[in-house]
Amino acid sequence: MTDEAIKTHPELSETFNQDEARVDWHDETLWWIRQKRDKSAHSIPEWEMLRETASQIKNNVLSDLGKYLVSFEEKALANGIIVHWAADAAEHNRIVHDILQKNGIGQMVKSKSMLTEECHLNEYLEQHGIDVIDSDLGERIVQLAKEPPSHIVLPCIHKKKEEIGELFYRHLGVPEGTSDPQILTEAARQHLRETFLTRKAALTGVNFAIAETGEFVVCTNEGNADMGAHLADVHIASMGMEKIIPERKHLGVFLRLLTRSATGQPITTYSSHFKKPRPGQEMHIIIVDNGRTIQMGRADFRASLKCIRCGACMNTCPVYRRSGGHSYHNAISGPIGAILAPNLDMKKYADLPFASTLCGSCSNVCPVKIDIHQQLYKWRQVIVKEGYADTSKKIGMQLMTFTLSSPVIYRTAGKAGRWFLKHVPFAVNNKFNPWYKHRDMPEAPEESFGEWYKRNVKQK
């Protein structure tokens, strides 16, 4: 994708909003998941204490990440795992390709890993002649549709079952017009079972990596990470360097929080702890930086690295629910994506911190207490200061500064505004005024507060 081709969040949201019924459906579905999260969280009396503990553990991890990574590496090596370090996406992708080449493997099955989305691994491997099949059902669906996931936990939450039926009709041979989720899931099960049984390499993500033991934990409901890893000769696990937690017992805290926050389930079906390769198997871990050390240096934004990728902030966000994940044009969408993305490319993602009402709901549900809405607010200031705000916003801000800097100009502008609203409302009630979309302009008062005050109070 070239820079010119990138549409901004408002433009992409506008496309999504053309189908009002779909927006309502999307909104309600995600809100339903948010409600399930609430019910699940409220059933745990110590929920807030758990969040606070998780937050503090992650603060400790960030403050000593170098030491924990070295300890993790040492233990993992002792366990027989091969450890790689990747400074950026390109190096990560090269490492994966090298491992596959060394083993003479041309096909790989992959379970969910947002990191590989961030690194655009699939595209890279395809360019190098490697066939990659995503095995998470939602990810397989968006892969067949040639789309990126629109949600980190629910990759095809934007798709209707009829559209999935159509994809499966074309690619997996189900009868035309199938839309029963049970039948569609069964078709995917058969298709992917064949894939699991024939692939010699499997790539998985990492939910948690334990510095104390060198093991890593992968959570799925479908069992796809395990089906891939245990049947393959080569298991590659890609992890963002911030996935470290100090000790095994800390998993008790995080596994209690993760899925309750994500979907309201008490735990995922599978929480698999990979410590050593099975006899004859090769197990690799790739520790990836890709901008994380830079984010670590930004004091206002480093807490974003505490994220455990539950997606709760998306499900609750009024903007995400009504604009869809694709409007964020980034591997990770929603509020957390909007504070992570500008670190990777401030120009390309300058629009994202503005895709928020700053209502704070994201921060309230975050299981590790990231101050998401405050970071959104702070990113806006950085982006404007660095000159990346879009032109209309910049002109608007400059005009505001000019107007607010002088009482005379302020009073004149107010008067002019009231006159326009009253006498020529069409001058502002038109499509060139973005505020007017979905809203009526207010009725203009006869006088400003200043004028009223002068007349009523000062006279006395």
For the segment 80-119, give every residue that binds other proteins (CB under 8 A).
Answer: 85-87, 91
Query: Distances in Å between the alpha carbon of 311 and those of 54, 148, 192, 222, 418?
Result: 16, 16, 26, 18, 44
297 binds other proteins (CB under 8 A): yes
Nearest approach in angstroms of CB 127 to other proteins is 22
> 42, 102, 170, 278: which one contacts other proteins (CB under 8 A)?
278
Q: According to DSSP H, which parts of 79-136 are helical?
A: 89-102, 114-118, 121-127
312 three-class SS: helix
In the complex with other proteins, the residue whose CB is nearer, 356 or 375, is 375
> 120, 128, 171, 248: which one contacts other proteins (CB under 8 A)?
248
| Residues with Cβ within 8 Å of residue 225, at least 6 apart in sequence | 111, 112, 135, 202, 204, 205, 218, 270, 272
Residue among 351, 354, 362 at smallest CA distance from 317: 362
Which part of the chain contacts other proteins (CB under 8 A), choosing from 193-201, 344-352, 421-429, 445-453?
193-201
Nearest approach in angstroms of CB 154 to other proteins is 7
177 binds other proteins (CB under 8 A): no
In the complex with other proteins, the residue whose CB is nearer, 277 or 324, is 277
> 1, 5, 21, 299: which one contacts other proteins (CB under 8 A)?
299
156 binds other proteins (CB under 8 A): yes
Which part of the chain contacts other proteins (CB under 8 A), choosing from 97-105, 122-130, 219-227, 443-451?
219-227
> 6, 31, 59, 120: which one contacts other proteins (CB under 8 A)?
59
> 252, 396, 417, 445: which one contacts other proteins (CB under 8 A)?
252
Two structure tokens written together for 212: 């104390």
The conformation of residue 351, written as its DSSP 8-state character, comes to: T
Nearest approach in angstroms of CB 95 to other proteins is 10
Q: How far apart are CA 346 and CA 338, in angstroms?
A: 11
> 107, 221, 429, 448: which one contacts other proteins (CB under 8 A)?
221
Task: Check: CB of residue 135 under 8 Å from CB of residue 110.
Answer: yes
Q: How far apart are CA 42 and CA 46, in angstroms?
A: 9
289 binds other proteins (CB under 8 A): yes
Q: How far apart are CA 392 and CA 377, in angstroms?
A: 19
Residue among 309, 348, 354 at smallest CA distance from 332: 309
181 three-class SS: helix
User: How many of the chain's residues bind other proteins (CB under 8 A)?
Assistant: 89
In the complex with other proteins, the residue whose CB is nearer, 46 or 386, is 46
Q: What type of residue is 227?
A: M
Burial class (CB within 10 angstroms; exposed 0-12, middle 13-18, buried 19+) of 385: exposed
174 binds other proteins (CB under 8 A): no
φ and ψ of 60, to 5 deg: -65, -45
> 293, 381, 398, 406: which one contacts other proteins (CB under 8 A)?
293
Residue among 130, 76, 60 at smallest CA distance from 99: 130
Which part of the chain contacts other proteins (CB under 8 A), choosing from 53-61, 329-337, 340-348, 362-370?
53-61
32 binds other proteins (CB under 8 A): yes
> 100, 164, 236, 383: which one contacts other proteins (CB under 8 A)?
164
Nearest approach in angstroms of CB 199 to other proteins is 11
Give me the sign of the Cα torsion angle 237, 242, 243, 247: positive
